[in-house]
Structure 1
Amino acid sequence: MFNQAWLLLAAVALLIGLAAGWPGLSALGALLLTVVGVAWAWNRRALQAVEYRRRLSERRAFPGETVTLELSVANRKALPLSWLRIEDECPAGLAILDGELAPSSQEGIGLLTSVLALRWFQRVRWRIRLRSEARGLYRLGPAHLSSGDLFGLFRQNQTLERCDTLIVYPRVYSLEALGLPSKEPFGDSRSPLPMLEDPSRTVGIRDYAAEDPLRRVHWKATARRQRLQVRVYEPSTHLQLLIGLNVATLPYEWQGSIPELLEHAISVAASLASYGVEHKYQVGLIANGCWPLSDQPLKVLPGRSPYHLAHILEALAAVLPLPTARLPDLLLRSSARLPWGATLAVVTAIVDDDLVEALLRLRAAGRRIVLFSLDRRQESQSAPPGILSYRIASRPGEAPVRFAPMEVFA
């Protein structure tokens, strides 16, 4: 590396050589000054017009799937790069199949390190295979570039803040693999109440009956026919399912979390969402965990768009294990905005008195409640009366397996 003493030595050698008439010493001093000047100018332009890019073959994956990361760097100028060092930050949770991560000063972060030389207007590409066995949001970047002059006297650093994110969904099992019934796991979907109607869709009119509310009266048709007419609405056939996930795995927050149990609860919620979308439910999600860099409970409103399941899986991939609210309070607040006839499926690893009380209150208010419990303590306890309850084995598997038989309490 460059040291100012070399510049001072070159200047002294040049002056002494000129004063003493020693051409060899003068030439040596001039050569050193020329090398330093060329190296300084080279270094100033080393990282100009250098492009570094990443491209993921897939930005979303399931655990165990392999994703190809294509890296490319281009030198878009006439000045070649004698050396270029690239250190790209990569989460340690991603397995590098074609190499290994270098350690970094940040916990949980490694460095994808590459050293190469580039000619003028040259582009280089190479590929790395990545694999993750756990759900999560994996951020790739920022990248740190270093280069310098041909003689190694100067060095220039640059940080590229652009990042790419790989979303790894939670594991999704079939209901049979979880030990749940594959037919109507949320109970009989036929409501004992009359078919719900969509007031935004009028399909006709009919004569007024004594039990009809006045807001259904069609006044223009009444004036035309000279007798009271009421609107006939189109029956609503959309079933709604709201999944409530409890990210707490221990009775008290200060006790921490059980990662394996939490991941299994998230997988159960993802599996229920997948089943619901497949069977034409409008599926929503609430959780007392939060998004990264947020302190608000996670929420995905019910919907039936083609990408709605992907939105729910992305939310479950990102949810953090730190509870931001009590699940009973969250359920009571959210139920007020649910349409009548919707099903509330609660997935939890902890069934305490407060949760049971909240579920009974919702049941008394006419809500359809289904409890999916991973709480081992419930083996010696009875299920909440009047609530369809499943006890799922709390032993998470590495691959879809049939867990121990669950018990159903009607």
Structure 2
Amino acid sequence: MALLWLVIVGGIIIGLQGVWFGRPALRRLKYTREFSKLRCYAGDELEMVETIANEKRVTVPWLRLEAMMPGSFVFRSGSGMDISQGDIYQNHKSIFTLKPFTRITRKHPIICSKRGIYTLNTVTMTGGDLFGVWRSTQPIPVHLSMIVYPSLVAAEDLPAIYQVWQGEVEVSRWIVEDPFLILGVRPYGAGDPMNRIHWKASARTGELQVYKQGWTADPQSWIIVNIQESEDMWSVVTRPEPIERALSYAATAAAVAIGRGLPAGFAHNGYRVNGGRDPLRIEPDYGSPHLELLLEAMAETELKCMVPMEQFLNDEVKRNEEVHQARSYLLITSYVSTAMEHEIARLNEQGHRVTILPVEPDHISTKSSKAVSA
């Protein structure tokens, strides 16, 4: 009989504590999660700040928070969370005990190891009583978006040809001819295109004469990344390391050019997050807002080819038939095919300058690793 009463009393106590602690466990709880910055470069360290507050008179015996995070977010050991690591995502669990009218703030150092655009939508909150009689679960919306740019590369770690391109672009600010500014005529010289010949002046002087053009202050600089890792590759990239390095080169070139007051544009032949059916092209412009636009476009680049690079360059040749401004191209690529060389030569014939920046020098011939210029 005593044992029966013990069981009955114990059951009543467990039931009462379940009603007292378990049923209101998730009531009047507030949770926020934020990052110290929402834009950074791959390899940067930042903090994830969690704040949870119990705004009622009743203690929460246990509270579990679960969230899916990108696998590329590297948390330091001892972060106070149970992490189940996967290749793409990682599951985080945190356990709290909250006294009445208590606020807890925890800071977790994170290293963003890979570029990309990451979205965090919800955190799942589960709470209950001491014995687990009552348990309730509730999703908490967080709506965070993190943009991780490609990492920047030190100037000495870039292929030497980059310094040549950079110097040519800066010098070209003062020596690139403006086809819309005609100052007179001059004798024909080697390399002058036939469409610049002034036939009336040539007939009058008896020698070939060409239009003498003025100079433009800022030529257009285009940074182009070839998403293909080889000529035979199609669709998804199987070796991402060279392409990721190419995007790092592109980010560095854009940051340096815009930092020196030069306009820079960006393009590639791959897909992008929420992109259209045409390859990405962002026209050259100046300033920090434009640099952020370029870096964000690099961050959202998918390692999947949309069109072959030779077709992309062919489209560029056709587009330039309607544009009369000199362009300086920095083509960042893991290889140069015969078809690509043909299109590069056509760009040169139009009066543009193409510099090939190799990603893996061992995979690029000596001829194609040089700057190809008009």
TM range (shorter): 0.7 to 0.9
Q: Distance in 1 between matches of 2:138 and 2:9?
A: 32
C-alpha contact (below 8 Å) 1:64/1:132 kept by paired residues: yes
1:258-273 maps to which residues of 2 (within 5 A)? 258-273=239-254
Aligned to 2:207: none
Alpha-carbon distance, 1:73 to partner: 0.7
Q: Which residue of 1 is the match for residue 306 of structure 2?
A: 324
Q: CA deviation at 1:128?
A: 1.0
* Aligned 8 A contact 1:50 1:73 in 2: yes
- What residue number does 2:359 align with? 374
Question: Which residue of structure 1 aligns with residue 140 of structure 2?
Answer: 160
RMSD: 3.4
Q: Is the 8 A contact 1:298 1:319 kept in 2?
A: no
Taking the aligned partners of 1:105 and 1:27, their CA distance within structure 2 comes to 45
Q: Distance in 1 between matches of 2:261 and 2:179?
A: 17
Is residue 246–residue 347 contact of structure 1 (8 Å, CA) maintained in 2?
A: yes
Whether 1:184 aligns to 2:164 is: no
- CA contact under 8 A between 1:63 and 1:135: conserved in structure 2? yes
Structure 1, gaps ≥5 residues long: 1-21, 198-210, 212-233, 384-390, 392-406
Deviation of residue 97 (structure 1)? Answer: 1.7
**Aligned ranges for residues 297-316 of structure 1 at < 5 Å?**
297-316=279-298
The residue correspondences of 1:1-400 to structure 2 (distance < 5 A) are: 29=8, 32=11, 35-36=14-15, 39-40=18-19, 42-99=21-78, 102-104=82-84, 107-140=87-120, 142-178=122-158, 179=160, 180-181=162-163, 184-186=167-169, 188-189=171-172, 190-191=174-175, 193-194=177-178, 237-250=217-230, 251-253=232-234, 256-294=237-275, 296=277, 297-334=279-316, 336=319, 340-374=325-359, 376=361, 379-380=364-365, 382-383=367-368, 391=369
When the two structures are aligned, how many residues end up with a matched partner?
332
Q: Distance in 1 between matches of 2:48 and 2:64?
A: 18
SS of residue matched to 1:84? strand
Once the 2 structures are TM-superposed, how far is the Cα of residue 116 of structure 1 from its aligned partner?
1.1
Contact 1:98 1:129 in 2 (8 A): no
Change in Cα spacing, 1:76 to 1:380, as seen in structure 2 (3 Å) is same
CA distance in 2, matches of 1:49, 1:243: 53
Question: Residues 262-313 of structure 1, C-alpha deviation per residue, up to 9 Å, x if partnerless?
Answer: 1221121112212221232221111122323546433433221322212212
Decide whether aligned partners of structure 1 residues 299 and 39 sit closer, same or farther in structure 2, where only a CA change above 3 A counts: farther
Uncovered stretches (5+) of structure 2, i.e. residues with no partner? 182-197, 199-213
Amino acid at match of 1:87: E
- Alignment partners' CA distance in 2, 1:170 and 1:92: 17
- Could you tell me how far 1:236 is from its partner in structure 2? 5.9
Give the TM-score normalised by the residue count of structure 2. Answer: 0.75
With 186-195 and 22-31 compared, the bigger mean Cα shift is at 22-31
Higher relative contact order (CA 8 A, sep 6+): 2
Q: Which amino acid is the alignment partner of residue 291 of structure 2?
A: L
Secondary structure of 1:306's aligned partner:
helix
> Could you tell me how far apart the structure 2 residues matched to 1:334 and 1:83 are?
62
SS at match of 1:366: coil
- Give the structure-1-normalised TM-score: 0.69
- Higher-strand-fraction structure: 2
Cα 1:39–1:155 shift into 2, 3 Å: same
AA in 2 matched with 1:310: E
Indicate the SS of the match to 1:165: strand
3-state DSSP of counterpart to 2:97: strand
Quick check: 81-90 or 254-263, which moved more? 254-263
Query: Is 1:42–1:148's contact at 8 Å kept on the other side of the alignment?
Result: yes
Contact residue 63 and residue 126 of structure 2 kept, 8 A: yes
Aligned residue for 1:116, secondary structure, equals strand
For residues 106 and 40 of structure 1, the distance between their equivalents in structure 2, rounded to whole angstroms, comes to 38
* Residues 192 and 319 of structure 1: CA distance in aligned 2, closer, same or farther (over 3 Å): closer
- In structure 2, relative to structure 1, the CA distance for the partners of 1:124 and 1:246 (3 Å cut) is same
Secondary structure of the residue aligned to 1:181 is helix
